[in-house]
Amino acid sequence: WAETKIQDEQVRQSGLTVVVQNGSEAQGEANRVARMLRLIGYAVRNIDTVDKQSNTKIVLGSSRAEKPEIAWAVARLQNLYPHAEVVEDDSAVQKARSDVVLILGQDGAAAFARTGR
């Protein structure tokens, strides 16, 4: 079922790497999100817990412009988290050794309740 309904071959082929950081204070949230992202086709590099965050953020590095093949994967991630603030921070993605850092904030539960996800 997951192969036909969830997996995205373009995402898988992009090789986009993601680090998921849980700032929502909801125990296990980063693990659940990482599992979902892996099913879709993202290469999840790491799962971390960070200090409490009010808002979900998608942190991108400027080097993504050099990798046009990841554009679809980034857009898909933004579609999954339409409430997330998108920021560019080269030092954060370099420190995470990843293309993207997804920081889960406390706004996530409310946003998913509104969209029915």
Q: What is the residue type of 90? A: D
pLDDT in tens, 28-83: 999 999 999 999 999 999 999 999 999 999 999 887 767 778 888 999 999 999 99
pLDDT in tens, 101-111: 999 999 975 55
Tell the residue number behind the tokens 């909801």, with chain if given: 26
Token reading at 21: 């950081």
Tell the residue number behind the tokens 């904030």, with chain if given: 105
Q: What is the residue type of 67? A: K
Distance CA 18, CA 105 (A): 16
